[in-house]
Amino acid sequence: MAWDFSTDDAYEEQLTWMRGFVREEIMPIETLGLEHGQMLTLIKPLQDQVKSRGLWAAHLPPELGGMGFGQVKLGLMHEILGQSEYGPIVFGNNAPDSGNAELLAAGMEMTGRQDIRERWLNPLLSGEIHSAFSMTEPDTAGSDPRLLKARAVKDGEEWVINGHKWYTTNGSVAQILIVMAVTNPEVHPYQGSSMFVVPADTPGVTILRDLGSMDHANVTYGQFNNHAEILYEDVRVPSDHLVGPEGSGFLLAQTRLGPGRIHHCMRWLGQSQRAFDMMCERALSRYAHGSLLSEKQTVQNWIADSKAEMHAARLMTMHAAWKMDQVGASASRDEIAMIKYYGASVLHNVIDRALQTYGSLGYSTDMPLESMYRAARAARIYDGPDEVHRQTVARHALKNYEAHEVPSDHIPTRTVAARKKFAEVLEFLEAEAV
């Protein structure tokens, strides 16, 4: 019977190296306030080190230029990289590029088209270009993409795309935009949507703005991790810019979102751990009302609860990763959904407690906790709001049950049944007792 929580020695060695590398080489970058271009220059030698250790783009299989780690190894890796916002880009697996690379790879697999690799996938993997995923619209509920309004119509050898999108993360710095649009409104939405690669400089693409958000209230246009509002007006792309077969948009979205969701959950473990470390350090350092904070039961409860919740989230995430490796993303939907909403709540709670432990210092920009807290809030919304994932899990769970007018566990009813079942023995026992 296999039931093993250990990591093999060779990979544990890599993990140890990653821990040191993230702490010593990557975390210091956070404090420099660099522009996107400057940051890319600074991290180039770090990316080279990652490549030479065979850790670059570990999410993709080797035939696509990745290291093919599988989800479990990737989970252990992301837990370390997720501690810093710059960890993933130094290791070539940052969102949304990592998910978009998976999507392009899936499109290649579905169609057998190798040109996708040369044109977009390889430049994306090498970090030469960046991409954005343009699905959510301001006028329709993103939680229900069957309502998408964006349309693409075939005109000879071209597709003409019209739509209004927002929250396209990295839309203002990306060279390619992957756009989801309805191509056949006559069929069920699950069969009627498609995805297109739209080069950002195509006529008709207008980046209206980068949105101010909890991430960046005073946003500066054109920064990495901004969220763009984009108008697509009669945007013409050649027919080979269709990713996958026509009508495969939802299938591709699932291919992208399944692994993407779990990668987020893995990074959240790293963020939670970092907040936890900060909380414990402060608890041991701050003195008030006659004792250190670490000696106050409320703070001890925060530490104990956070540790237990993080442990639960970690086991759930690693189990979901293991299941994905065994049976694929589709058959692991419940596990991925559960970790999406449970992991997001643990992330939020641990950061919230850590921030509270620091008081006014935690609320200030002198500590990273305030920005971690704002980022954590978004986790309950992106990749589908928590409520939708809860609904999925509840629906699947309910399929195993049926309605009963009298509850199956109703004790008086069960007593009657038990009396009937054991009537003979009971009769004998009663006679004996007299």
The answer to whether residue 348 forms part of the interface with ligand FAD (CB under 6 A) is no
Closest separation in Å from C-beta 429 to ligand FAD:
54
Q: Write the DSSP assignment of 64-128 as a string of letters.
A: GTS---HHHHHHHHHHHHTTSTTHHHHTT--TTHHHHHHHHHHHHHHH--THHIIIIIHHHHTTS
Shorter beta-carbon distance to ligand FAD: residue 254 or 391: 391
- Round to whole Å and give the CA distance between 16 and 187: 52
Two structure tokens written together for 57: 């783009």
Shorter beta-carbon distance to ligand FAD: residue 115 or 144: 144
Shorter beta-carbon distance to ligand FAD: residue 394 or 417: 394
Q: Which residues in the 263-302 window bind ligand FAD by CB under 6 A?
A: none
Closest separation in Å from C-beta 168 to ligand FAD:
5
Q: Is 16 within 8 Å of 9 (Cβ atoms)?
A: no
Q: CB under 8 Å to 56, separation ≥6 — which residues?
A: 47, 50, 66, 67, 91, 92
Among 91, 133, 196, 250, contact with ligand FAD (rule: CB under 6 A)? 133
Closest separation in Å from C-beta 220 to ligand FAD:
17
- Round to whole Å and give the CA distance between 182 and 191: 9
Among 141, 416, 418, 423, contact with ligand FAD (rule: CB under 6 A)? 141
Closest separation in Å from C-beta 74 to ligand FAD:
20
The answer to whether residue 167 forms part of the interface with ligand FAD (CB under 6 A) is yes
CA distances from 114 to 60, 97, 244, 323 (A): 16, 19, 12, 30
| Total of chain residues touching ligand FAD, rule CB under 6 A | 20
The answer to whether residue 249 forms part of the interface with ligand FAD (CB under 6 A) is no
The answer to whether residue 196 forms part of the interface with ligand FAD (CB under 6 A) is no
DSSP β-ladder status, 193-199 and 158-169: unpaired
Shorter beta-carbon distance to ligand FAD: residue 68 or 385: 385
- Round to whole Å and give the CA distance between 238 and 246: 13
> Would you mind telling me the total number of residues written for the chain in this entry?
434
The answer to whether residue 341 forms part of the interface with ligand FAD (CB under 6 A) is no
Among 197, 384, 392, 393, contact with ligand FAD (rule: CB under 6 A)? 384
How are the residues of the chain apportioned to helix, strand and coil, as percentages rounded to the nearest 5? Answer: 55, 15, 30
Shorter beta-carbon distance to ligand FAD: residue 169 or 272: 169
Diameter of the chain measured on Cα atoms:
97
The answer to whether residue 254 forms part of the interface with ligand FAD (CB under 6 A) is no
Shorter beta-carbon distance to ligand FAD: residue 46 or 388: 388
By the criterion CB under 6 A, which residues form the site for ligand FAD?
96, 133-136, 141-143, 167-169, 227, 378, 381-382, 384-385, 387-388, 391
